[in-house]
Amino acid sequence: MAALSLKRQESDSLVIAPYASQLALMVNPAAALKNLRQMEEFGWSGRYGFYEAIDYTGSGADVIRSWMAHHEGMALLAICNLLFDNPMQHYFHAEPQVLATELLLNERVPAAVTAEEGELAGVTGAVPATA
């Protein structure tokens, strides 16, 4: 498996992961459901649900007929969150260790970041602070 993860991929490769549409249920349910219905019509599911991926890198669609338990779990949690008003998010945010750092989750990224002169070595695109 490690050799596969280190394999250099073509920049024009296209892989569709049905579980990504399941995760998108929380963001755009209508569009995600449309995607999932289309995938079902294409036959991209089997005994345990949607297959892992569909690879269009070669000629045509190569269906990866496997299931990864963690992707299935994430998909089930996304469906649960959609149907029952985000219970897993509520459980997560009720955890004391998460509450202690929750402000960081809502912190905005600064529009412009400046650096001191000594910190700029080797940083492409860094803007030095003005006095």
Q: Parallel, antiparallel, or unpaired for β 15-16 and 53-55?
A: antiparallel
The whole-chain average pLDDT of the chain stands at 83
Structural domain includes residue 97:
yes
Structural domain includes residue 4:
no
d(CA 66, CA 55): 13
pLDDT classification of 60: cutoffs 50, 70, 90: confident
Structural domain includes residue 56:
yes
pLDDT classification of 79: cutoffs 50, 70, 90: very high
Taking the mean position of all CA atoms in its chain, how far away is CA 18? Answer: 11
Structural domain includes residue 96:
yes
Q: What is the DSSP string of 50-112?
A: E-SEEE-SSSS-EEE----HHHHHHHHHHHHHHHTTSHHHHHHHHSHHHHHHHHHHTPPPPSS
Structural domain includes residue 3:
no
- Quote the pTM value: 0.64
Instruction: State the total domains in the chain.
Output: 1
Q: How many Cβ atoms sit within 10 Å of the Cβ of residue 32?
A: 19
- Residue position matching structure tokens 């549409």: 21
The whole domain housing 48 covers 9-125
Asked whether residue 114 carries a pLDDT value surpassing 80, the answer given is no
d(CA 118, CA 120): 6
What's the mean pLDDT in 54-74? 90
